[in-house]
Amino acid sequence: MTFNDIFKSGFLENVSSVTLLDMVLALTLAFGIGMFILLVYKKTFSGVMYSSSFGVTLVALTMITALVILAVTSNVVLSLGMVGALSIVRFRTAVKEPLDITFLFWAIGAGIVLAAGLIPLAVFGSAVIGIVLLIMANKKTYINPYIVVIQCQDHESEEKAMELLRERTRRCVVKSKTAQKGLVELDVEIRMKEDDTDFINTLAEMDGIKSAVLASLHGEYMG
């Protein structure tokens, strides 16, 4: 068969179509894997605000990818048209959490592998990826850097606050300092010794300390 034969109408008649059983099986498994991806996403989410629409997108993206790959694998001419059509698609939505990109690629990859007929690989691979994400994303993160914002009245209270931080944390470094009349504000980067934030309460109750705020890198805070 030559390249010109591909575009003849007779070629389209000889292309094997997707059976109803294949469609039902692929879309059902895609829905199941998509729900598993959504479950792992909920368990590992650590952002400020959970987006339910993104969770629905993961399920729909798995099913849509499987649907597209089924159509592409059943018709060579259609696959060429799909490449041309999808090449002009542009997405402008910004992904705020880096881990969200992993779930997007996971959903797309699972849909592709599933529609290609590699069902054991899609199921086993998704299970392994889910377990790895659950283990790594739920690890204790108290050794990660935190920022402590302290408002002091004078230099003496500033020294007492820094002394307490040196005693109760693994490491502390002053990142910025703002001094005004009757007010000194410190931004201190710390590494906690253990998963215990009670030192912030002790710090806030010290004489000369107006406020103390503990903030993590992903926006959660305690003060």
pLDDT digits (tens, 9 = 90+) for 46-59: 665 667 788 888 88
pLDDT digits (tens, 9 = 90+) for 115-133: 888 888 888 988 998 898 8
Per-residue tokens: 192: 């906690």
- Per DSSP, 212 falls in state E
* Cα angle 91-216-35, degrees, rounded to a multiple of 5: 45
Per-residue tokens: 106: 């996971």
pLDDT at 95: 64
Q: For residue 14, what pLDDT band results from cuts at 50, 70 and 90?
A: very low
- Does pLDDT of 74 surpass 60? yes
- Does pLDDT of 5 surpass 70? no
Lowest mean pLDDT across 76-85, 94-103, 124-133: 76-85
pLDDT at 223: 46
Distance CA 137, CA 40 (A): 10
Q: Evaluate whether 76 touches 82 at the Cβ level (below 8 Å).
A: no
Q: What is the pTM of this model?
A: 0.59
- Does pLDDT of 83 surpass 50? yes
CA torsion sign for 218, 95, 50, 125 is negative
- Does pLDDT of 79 surpass 60? no
- For each of the domains in the chain, give its residue range(s) and CATH number, in order of start: 3-137 (no CATH), 146-222 (3.30.70.1150)
CA torsion sign for 134, 140, 143, 147 is positive
pLDDT digits (tens, 9 = 90+) for 130-171: 898 888 876 655 567 888 888 888 888 888 888 888 888 888
pLDDT at 80: 56
